[in-house]
Structure 1
Amino acid sequence: MTARRYSPADRLIDHLDQGLRTVFGNPPTTGRPHPAANVADGELSDADRHHSAGLMRVNHCGEVCAQALYQGQALTARDPVIRDAMREAADEENDHLAWCRGRLNELDSRTSLLDPAFHLGSLALGAAAGAAGDRWSLGFLAETERQVVRHLSGHLERLPEADHRSRAIVTQMRTDEGEHASMAVQAGARELPAPVKRMMQLTSKVMTTLTYRV
């Protein structure tokens, strides 16, 4: 049987479906074991729970943005191998989405109300990066993941000491993001200019500041 060839319109519809699932639904996960499955929390005060929820809400929105970046880049990638690599990494980001959303539920909190807006903006950035060329797209991906690793390391320092479940989730996320950055470098990523990196850092700062509260 001949494999079906997907047109650009087919891929666009597929990405729209993924976007709706990312922001409003439950996107399919890889089925990996939950990193906090056998981890029990310590005693968390109301202030601790509020702070942990704010940090995990930021992490969840970061994963929404990551999904949108991957989707945008896969939509415009020229090399089918790179497109497949983007989609594979996006599947792992779905795990992160599910873990963060589940932890927010455990903390009696919610995801950010700004998720849809940040998703659309990140989708456009991803598509633009992909249109610039596969090596530039990979460079954008590698730098994004490096910044995410630093961001997650900071959250591990800021999470309440007794919040063992959130720590387990963030630790696994940090490992995965580092592997995604390495994948991009090995695939031929170009190093981004310093002004672009600084703009990415500024954009990330805006997102983290707003979604901690909203």
Structure 2
Amino acid sequence: MSGWRPGDRRFDRASMLRVNQAGEYGATRIYAGQLAVLRRNSSASKLIARMDGQEQRHLARFNALMAERRVRPTVLQPVWNIAGFALGAATALLSEQAAMACTDAVETEIDRHYGHQLDELGDDDPEFAADITEFRAEELEHRDAARTAGAAQAFGYPVLTATIRAACRVAIGLSKRI
């Protein structure tokens, strides 16, 4: 990666991969925090466990691509470890609906983020684009499942989701570069 600079297409792909891996890692930490708090056999914990399995698969794929393409992870990963778990645990402590609102907010931003990446990639990297397309569809399934499970019934839903979405945008921006 030495000699890469912003604007260089190789840099852009590395940045995309870095932020995607960080996002999937953060999602697994959010779900870990929620599962640590929620009752084991509740409908919410079963749904979250299923979504977490998909996020783990996404993370494994991006980890493999990072190794293959020799892209370093974000140095903020220890922060996302703690912040993700704390966000998951805090929303689950509020209520099952708040945990679902968290998923709704995060997946809404991820859909937006993956959409921008697909637009930028065009036909330049079909393998990477195929992964993003597949994972984006699953993230939308998570968002829709969270909404069906009562996300909008969470106390303070508009403020809660707006705050989480803003935090996601900040995390995305930082993870691209750092």
TM bin (shorter chain): 0.7 to 0.9
- 3-state SS, counterpart of residue 139 of structure 2: helix
Is 1:55–1:159's contact at 8 Å kept on the other side of the alignment?
A: no
In structure 2, how many angstroms separate the alpha carbons of the residues matched to 1:138 and 1:128? 12
Residue from 41, 47, 54 that aligns with 1:92: 54
Q: CA deviation at 1:160?
A: 5.8
* Aligned counterparts of 1:135 and 1:114: Cα–Cα separation in 2: 29
Q: Deviations over 1:122-149 (max 9, x none)?
A: 1101101001111221122122212211
In structure 2, the residue matched to 1:47 is 8
Task: Give me the whole-angstrom Cα distance separating, in 1, the residues matched to 2:121 and 2:80.
Answer: 24
When residues 139 and 73 of structure 1 are mapped into structure 2, their CA distance, relative to the original with a 3 A threshold, is: same
Which residue of structure 2 aligns with residue 201 of structure 1? 165
Gapped runs of 5+ residues in structure 1?
A: 1-45
Cα distance change of structure 1 residues 197 and 139 upon mapping to structure 2, 3 Å threshold: closer
| Aligned residues of 1:49 and 1:107 also touching (Cα < 8 A) | no
Moved over 4 A (4+): none
Q: Is the 8 A contact 2:37 2:93 kept in 1?
A: yes
Q: Could you tell me how far apart the structure 1 residues matched to 2:106 and 2:71 are?
A: 27
Which has the larger displacement, 150-159 or 100-109? 100-109
**Distance in 2 of aligned mates of 1:123 and 1:108:** 27
Once residues 106 and 99 of structure 1 are traced to their aligned partners in structure 2, the CA distance between those partners, rounded to angstroms, is 11
Deviation at 1:61? 0.5
Aligned residues: 169
1:47-93 Cα offsets, whole Å, 9 max, x none, are 22221110111011011111111111111124622212211111110
Q: What does residue 118 of structure 1 align with?
A: 80
C-alpha distance after superposition, 1:138-173 (max 9, x if no partner):
122122212211111111112263111110111011
Opposite residue 124 of structure 1, the aligned amino acid is A
| Residue from 59, 63, 70 that aligns with 1:108 | 70
What amino acid is aligned across from residue 148 of structure 1 in structure 2?
I
Q: Distance in 1 between matches of 2:151 and 2:108?
A: 13
AA in 1 matched with 2:14: A
TM-score, normalised with respect to structure 1: 0.73
Distance in 2 between the 1:136 and 1:212 partners? 28
Identity %: 26
Unaligned runs of 5+ in 2: 1-6
Q: Using a 3 Å threshold, how does the CA distance of structure 1 residues 205 and 143 change in structure 2: closer, same or farther?
A: closer
**What is residue 23 of structure 1 aligned with on the other side?**
none
Instruction: Tell me whether 1:173 sits opposite 2:135 in the alignment.
Output: yes
Letter of the 1:47 partner, please give it: D
Structure-2 residue corresponding to 1:186? 148
**Deviation (angstroms), 1:195:** 3.0
| Aligned-CA RMSD value | 1.8
Hey, what does 1:71 align to over in structure 2?
Answer: 32
Q: Larger radius of gyration, structure 1 or 2?
A: 1
CA distance in 1, matches of 2:175, 2:151: 30
